[in-house]
């Protein structure tokens, strides 16, 4: 069977992750990127090959997003991205809308970067874990110095230039105790949109401070409190709550959601040397005892559609599909989730063909439990107990 752009099981492309460099100028303790000390850079030839492959693949049917990631994107200068955007434009002959996103550690934001963001209408997010006593526990330089002051400086510059940005905060076992302090931090720095990533177990980061059955209730309590804070005098958009609302009200009674991460070639991630993968972007660059690695080809020599026909791709896809089917049969949250994240299944359970993970419990189930309880409260007019449907 040849993958076709109209095949509902393959694509269309929604997200293209490009690694401009694996290097990161800081060294967070929970980072999953294995080569963040490497100073390699993507070449112009690889960029040409990426965009040639993308726009000739038949997978581009609608606007999609490019996220420059898998290393700190701002270690390369703005002129690099100006050139990359120009290369993309030459290959984008049909003029599809392409949105560029940067998620940065915020330490390198300066006037030049602000000018670039404004001129190119790109989205920017800053990774910051709240006040210094939380942030500097994990987000440090290679010499062990905290980075909070530099991140705050970067955010202040964005604010001064009136550049909208969101923040991503990693929730650790420590930070769950401080929802109020986090909220005050966001308010103090004028932050309006927040996403919370739980500290995950992926690749070289093999343990999380959130491991253990007690974390579920702690996360529920965190989000329960934060929900109330976020509708306070400084209203916050919280990605997790808005995602849960989409999951609750977007999926019909007879349908289930479908995660991007389980759709072949809906997400394509390419490293700085042209190697590419699909499904969960974190897979690119990680090793596996079972599969060797998760690389499906190189843009210099292989098309995405050809790669989807290889034995390795099909084996991984079959295992992912089997895991999703197990979720469908066994998980009470399936209709509001769609089958979980393959990378978390693999690195927590040892197989794509598996079901619940810590990531599921803390990022999906806990959030859904809180938001549904809030909705029940809003519609019934009284506060229900935060009954958890979790098997925990």
Partner 1 sequence: MEQVNSEVRVHLKQKLLKLLKAAPVAGLVLASASLSISTADASLSRVQPRLSIEERVTNVRNQSGPQAHPGQALPGTVLPGTGHESSETLLAWGNWHNWHNGWHNGWHNWHNWHNW
Residues between 22 and 61 that touch partner 1 (CB under 8 A)? none
Query: Is residue 243 a contact point for partner 1 (CB under 8 A)?
Result: yes
User: If residue 17 lies in a helix (H) or strand (E), which one and from where to where?
Assistant: strand 15-18
How far is 387 from 2, CA to CA, in rounded Å? 47
Q: Which token pair is 8?
A: 């509902």
What is the closest distance, in whole angstroms, from the C-beta atom of residue 300 to partner 1 in the complex? Answer: 25
**For residue 199, which of 229, 242, 168, 155 has the smallest C-alpha distance?**
168
Does residue 140 contact residue 27 with C-beta atoms inside 8 Å? yes
Q: How long a stretch of residues is the chain?
A: 392
Radius of gyration of the CA atoms of the chain, in A: 21
Out of 86, 242, 314, 315, the residue judged to bind partner 1 by CB under 8 A: 242
The only residue of 31, 87, 257, 322 in contact with partner 1, by rule CB under 8 A: 257
Residue 22's Cβ-count burial label (10 Å; 0-12, 13-18, 19+) is buried
Smallest separation, CB 100 to partner 1 (Å)? 9
In the bound state with partner 1, the residue whose beta carbon lies nearer, of 142 and 149, is 149
Helix H or strand E encompassing 181: helix 179-188
**Closest distance of CB 138 from partner 1, Å:** 17
Report the b/e string of 69-101 with b at 16+ CB within 10 A: bbbbbbbbebebbeebbebbeebbeeeeebebb
For partner 1, the binding residue among 6, 45, 63, 86 (CB under 8 A) is 63
Name residues contacting partner 1, limited to 171-230 (CB under 8 A): 177-181, 184, 193, 195-197, 217-218, 220-221, 224-225, 227, 230
Q: How many residues bind partner 1 (CB under 8 A)?
A: 92
Instruction: Label residue 191 exposed, middle or buried (CB < 10 Å: 0-12, 13-18, 19+).
Output: buried
Task: Write out the binding residues for partner 1, residues 268-297 only, by CB under 8 A.
Answer: 280-281
Yes or no: say if 276 and 57 are a contact pair by the CB < 8 Å rule. no
From candidates 35, 72, 199, 240, binder to partner 1 by CB under 8 A: 240
- Stretch of 108-116, 202-210, 239-247, 289-297 contacting partner 1, by CB under 8 A: 239-247
In the complex, what is the shortest distance from the CB of residue 184 to partner 1, in angstroms, rounded to a whole number?
A: 8
Least Cβ distance, residue 72 to partner 1 (angstroms):
16
In whole angstroms, the minimum distance from the beta carbon of 54 to partner 1 comes to 15
Give the whole-angstrom CA distance, residue 234 versus residue 145: 31
Which position among 156, 246, 290, 330 is part of the footprint of partner 1 (CB under 8 A)? Answer: 246
Q: Determine contact, residues 269/17, Cβ cutoff 8 Å.
A: yes
Using CB under 8 A, which residues numbered 80 to 139 contact partner 1? 99, 101, 103, 123, 125, 133
In this complex, which beta carbon is closest to partner 1, that of residue 267 or of residue 316? 267
Give the helix ranges, DSSP H, for 4-147. Answer: 44-56, 78-91, 111-120, 132-138
Q: What residues between 336 and 375 interact with partner 1 by CB under 8 A?
A: 336-338, 340-341, 344, 359, 363-365, 368-369, 372, 374-375
Q: Is position 305 an interface residue for partner 1 (rule: CB under 8 A)?
A: no
């Amino acid at each position: 069977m040849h993958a076709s752009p109209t095949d509902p099981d393959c694509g269309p492309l929604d997200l293209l992750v490009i690694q401009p460099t694996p290097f990161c100028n800081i060294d967070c303790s929970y980072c999953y990127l294995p080569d963040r000390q490497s100073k390699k850079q993507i070449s112009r030839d690889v960029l040409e090959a990426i965009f040639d492959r993308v726009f000739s693949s038949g997978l581009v049917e609608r606007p999609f997003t490019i996220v420059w990631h898998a290393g700190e994107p701002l270690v390369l200068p703005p002129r690099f991205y100006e050139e990359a955007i120009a290369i993309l434009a030459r290959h984008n002959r049909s003029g599809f809308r392409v949105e560029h996103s940067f998620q940065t550690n915020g330490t390198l934001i300066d006037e030049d970067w602000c000018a670039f963001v404004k001129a190119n209408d790109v989205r920017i997010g800053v990774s910051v874990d709240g006040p210094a006593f939380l942030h500097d526990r994990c987000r440090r330089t290679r010499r062990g110095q905290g980075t909070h002051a530099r991140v705050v400086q970067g955010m202040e510059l964005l604010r001064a230039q009136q550049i909208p940005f969101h923040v991503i905060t990693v929730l650790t076992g420590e930070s769950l105790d401080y929802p109020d302090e986090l909220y005050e931090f966001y308010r103090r720095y004028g932050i309006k949109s927040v996403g919370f990533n739980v500290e995950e177990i992926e690749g070289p980061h093999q343990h999380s401070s959130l491991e253990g059955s007690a974390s579920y209730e702690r996360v529920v309590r965190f989000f329960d409190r934060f929900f109330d804070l976020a509708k306070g005098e400084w209203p916050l958009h919280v990605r997790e709550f808005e995602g849960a609302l989409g999951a609750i009200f977007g999926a019909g009674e007879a349908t289930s959601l479908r995660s991007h991460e389980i759709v072949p070639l809906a997400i394509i991630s390419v490293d700085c040397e042209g190697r590419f993968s699909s499904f969960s972007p974190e897979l690119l660059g990680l090793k596996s005892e079972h599969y060797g690695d998760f690389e499906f080809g190189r843009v210099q020599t292989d098309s995405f559609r050809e790669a989807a026909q290889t034995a390795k791709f099909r084996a991984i896809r079959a295992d992912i599909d089997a895991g999703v089917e197990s979720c469908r049969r066994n998980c009470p949250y399936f209709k509001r989730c769609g089958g979980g994240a393959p990378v978390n299944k693999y690195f927590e359970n040892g197989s794509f063909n598996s079901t619940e993970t810590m990531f599921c419990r803390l990022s999906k189930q806990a959030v859904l439990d809180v938001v549904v309880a809030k909705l029940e409260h809003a519609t019934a007019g009284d506060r229900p107990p935060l009954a958890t449907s979790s098997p925990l």
